[in-house]
Structure formats: C-alpha cells, structure tokens
Amino acid sequence: MTTIKITSRLLDHVGSALCGMLPFEQPADAVLSRVFRDHRELGHRERGFVADTAYGVLRRKRYLEKFCGADRATPRRLLLVALVRLAHLNQRQLAEALTAKELDWVAELKALPEPELSLAEAADFPDWLTEQLLAEGRSPEEVLQLARSLNQPAPLDLRVNPMKTTREAVLERFQAEGIEARACPYAPLGLRLAQRPALAKHPLFLDGSIEVQDEGSQLLGHLVAPKRGEMVVDFCAGAGGKTLLLGALMRSTGRLYAFDVSDRRLAKLKPRLARSGLSNVHTAAIASEQDQRIKRLAGKIDRVLVDAPCSGLGTLRRNPDLKWRQTPESLAELTAKQAAILAAASRLVKVGGRLVYATCSLLDAENEAIVTDFLASHPDFVRKSCGEILASQGIALEMGESLRLLPHQHGTDGFYAAVLERQA
C-alpha cells in the first residue's frame, strides 16, 4: 500500500466501498465508481488508496477473517486487519485515524501469530473453486501458485492503435512526459506501465492512439489475425476491447460485425470506435445466439471470435470480487451457455475459415472441455496450433495447441483460447 497519510476520512471511504462490495450483489468496480462519483473531492492518490485497500480486502478475505473471530468480520474490522497484517501499518501511523479502542486492537493484532490455514484459506479461494481446480488435475502447490499470482494487483497495459501511431512514438512521448513504460514482452502493440497514471484525459487516449487492454487480451486478437478485406465477426463483442484491435489489424477494410446480447455493453463501444478512426465496424445487439441476423450470415464469414461469457477467474487481479460472486451453479449455467454460443457461432464460419474460442477463465470446464465436446459433435472443424499462429506473426511465446496464459508465467491475466478451422 502507499505512503499516503492515513486519515479517518480516508478510511471511511474505504469502509463505505467495502460495505457496498462485501454483500457481492454488484460488481466491485461499479461500487467503487459510485463512491468516487459521490466524492469528487478525492484526488488521484486518495482514490488509488481507497481502491487498492478495498481490493486488498477482497483479495485476502479468508485470511483476514481468521483474525476477526466467528461472525465478526465486519467491513471495518476486515479493513483494520488488512492495514495491520497486510500493509504492516503500526499504531503510530494509524493514530489519527482510529479510536482508542481500535488502536488497542491494532496492538493485539500485531502480536498474533500467523494462523493455521487450509489450502482454500491459504489460496484465499472459496472451497468449491479449490476443489474444482484439484478435481481438474492441479496439484495443491499449483493451486497456491496460481492463487498467489491472482491475488496481486495487475499492471496497467495499453495497446497502441496502429491506425494512428506506433509503439515507438508512444514510448518516446511517455518518456518525455515522465511516464515510465516499456514494450510488452509478447504483444506487438502492447505497452506496460510501471505505475497507474490517470490517462483518461491524456491526449493520446482522447485521440484514439492508445487503449487500455491487457496483453493477454491483445494476444487473442493476434490468434484471430484477420486480414484486409475479410468478413469478420466478434460474436461477444461487449465494450469492444477486441473489436478495436481486430478492426485495426484489418486496417479498417472489409467488414467487422460486433455482436452482443447486451445493448448497454455495446453502447460503451461507440465512443471508443469514434476515437479509433475505424469505419469498418458494424455493431448489432442480438436477441440471443440464435438471432435471425446471424442465420443470414451462415457460412459467409472468414474469421469468428467467440470471446465467451465466462467466470472471469483469470482476471482476479483486476476483479477480485469474482471469486466470491461465482458459484458451482453459476459455473454450470456458464458452461451450458458457452457450448450453445460456440455451436451457434460456428455456423457463420465459411469453409477454410477460422473460429477462435476464448475465455478469461482458468477452469478446464469452461475451456478445454467446451472445445473437446464441440469438436466431437462438429467433425468438420479441426484444431490449429496457437503457438504456430503466433510464431508466424513473430510472437515468440512457447505455446502448444491451445493458448493458456497465466499471470505467474506470462505476466498477463489468465486466458485460454483454441483456434479451430472449418474443413468442409
């Protein structure tokens, strides 16, 4: 955590963020946006502290609960434990922010030994998720390694828009402005920043030269690898992170359909498209994967990306609340949806065309199992090697048939992708 002066007002803001987040009824980032909207007086560093501290509690909730006592894990108590046991703040640093009684508890907390933890508690995962990962063949050590990497904050990755500028030009400009950045190790258009500067009003952001996008997400676009003049479908386009990359790789030629069932998400793509300089994108809200519009395009599309709705467990560095919001029931619903969307999207692909199935999940149930089942019932599709497709674009990433990105190995969010080609 930061060296910012801890005041009671600042802790109250973290407390109200946690009160909104901990029932897990709404996404944590939506709660945080509301707190910031209601308190426009908060500066960039203060916002950073509130966000980091509240997310820190979500990341390590099970560990922190161990210090609170049964049924006494209130947002305020979890926060205090986090300040003492995770941020290692002492009574003097907290003196102005806490009551006398709380300061006494701080002294007690400091003195407590490390608690005994089960595997799920040490991983700070719910029990069902730990069991699922073990059942899918991961060892307890792997589960812990995965958990540790997912329980860290993510760096800020950007993607340069090749329609507007080059990575070198952006790096040079950032250097001149004192923004520390370097090229991402794999993604040819990616930049990784050392800090989290406020970029929303930066001229390069406003003129569409840069977008925020995790390096892993960028690599999925390079698996689709659309060419100039092609017909391409981004089946689950959402707010269009990948649409923008695909459109740029097509140099704004051909036709790129951005479908989604969520009007609200597609609406977020509109201003991004306006900034991007792309004119080949056609957005359409579809009623479901069986929409009539999709049927009309059957067999006509060169490349289809299915960036499927998923548990999002690969993005826990950015969305730590997801591990507490998902359940075995929501997983079962998602896998049924994923299979249905992949089957429907596959009908669009023309002979010789490419279908990319991707998720930001770490669970085999949402990844390999979906692809294996699909291939069993669609003998006209064959797998293509992700490693080879990336290598052919000069992206040196040791990968086999499927793409499996993991934070502790690749420094990206967790992603999975399989590339399928229609043979007949």
From residue 185, give the alpha-carbon distance in Å to each of 47, 182, 324, 361.
29, 9, 31, 22
Q: What's the angle, vertex CA 212, arms to CA 208 and CA 216, rounded to 5?
A: 125
Q: Does 259 bind ligand SAM (CB under 6 A)?
A: yes
Choosing from 215, 289, 321, 366, the residue that interacts with ligand SAM (CB under 6 A) is 289
Tokens of 186: 């794999």
The full length of the chain comes to 424
Choosing from 34, 66, 265, 272, the residue that interacts with ligand SAM (CB under 6 A) is 265
Q: Which is nearer to ligand SAM, 242 or 410 (CB)?
A: 242
From residue 335, give the alpha-carbon distance in Å to each of 31, 338, 390, 406.
27, 5, 27, 21
Applying CB under 6 A, the span of 78-86, 146-154, 169-177, 260-268 interacting with ligand SAM comes to 260-268
Applying CB under 6 A, the span of 102-110, 233-241, 249-257, 275-283 interacting with ligand SAM comes to 233-241
Applying CB under 6 A, the span of 120-128, 133-141, 197-205, 253-261 interacting with ligand SAM comes to 253-261
- As measured in angstroms, the least distance from the Cβ of 369 to ligand SAM is 18
Q: Does 159 bind ligand SAM (CB under 6 A)?
A: no
Contacts of 41 (CB under 8 A, 6+ apart): none
> Which residues are known to be catalytic?
360
Binding site annotation covers 38? no
Q: Does 230 bind ligand SAM (CB under 6 A)?
A: no
Helices 8-21 and 28-38: crossing angle in degrees, nearest 10, is 140
Applying CB under 6 A, the span of 60-68, 240-248, 322-330, 364-372 interacting with ligand SAM comes to 240-248
Q: Where are the alpha helices (H) located in 124-185, listed in sequence order?
A: 127-135, 140-150, 167-176
Q: Does 415 bind ligand SAM (CB under 6 A)?
A: no
Rounded-to-integer distance, Cα 342 and Cα 349, Å = 11
- Site residues for ligand SAM, window 341-400 (CB under 6 A)? 341
- As measured in angstroms, the least distance from the Cβ of 357 to ligand SAM is 12
Q: Which is nearer to ligand SAM, 63 or 415 (CB)?
A: 415
Q: Which is nearer to ligand SAM, 124 or 211 (CB)?
A: 211
Q: Is 360 helix (H, G, I), strand (E, B) or coil?
A: coil
Phi, psi for residue 311 in degrees, rounded to 5: -65, -20
Binding site annotation covers 307? yes
Q: Which is nearer to ligand SAM, 6 or 269 (CB)?
A: 269
Q: How many residues bind ligand SAM (CB under 6 A)?
A: 19
Residue closest to 348 by CA, chosen among 416, 412, 256: 256
DSSP 72-107: ---HHHHHHHIIIIIS---HHHHTTTS-HHHHHHHH
Reported as half-sphere exposure (CB side, CA atoms, 13 A), residue 73 has a value of 18
- As measured in angstroms, the least distance from the Cβ of 143 to ligand SAM is 24
Rounded-to-integer distance, Cα 424 and Cα 418, Å = 19
Applying CB under 6 A, the span of 70-78, 239-247, 391-399, 410-418 interacting with ligand SAM comes to 239-247
Reported as half-sphere exposure (CB side, CA atoms, 13 A), residue 317 has a value of 22
- Site residues for ligand SAM, window 99-158 (CB under 6 A)? none
Residue closest to 249 by CA, chosen among 270, 269, 219: 219
- Site residues for ligand SAM, window 298-327 (CB under 6 A)? 307, 309
Q: Is 268 helix (H, G, I), strand (E, B) or coil?
A: helix
Q: Does 262 bind ligand SAM (CB under 6 A)?
A: yes
Q: What is the DSSP pairing of strand 231-234 with strand 156-160?
A: unpaired
Q: Which is nearer to ligand SAM, 57 or 305 (CB)?
A: 305
Q: Which is nearer to ligand SAM, 15 or 247 (CB)?
A: 247
Choosing from 68, 87, 199, 261, the residue that interacts with ligand SAM (CB under 6 A) is 261
Choosing from 242, 347, 354, 404, the residue that interacts with ligand SAM (CB under 6 A) is 242
Interface positions with ligand SAM (CB under 6 A): 217, 235-242, 259-262, 265, 288-289, 307, 309, 341
List the binding residues for S-adenosyl-L-methionine. Answer: 260, 307
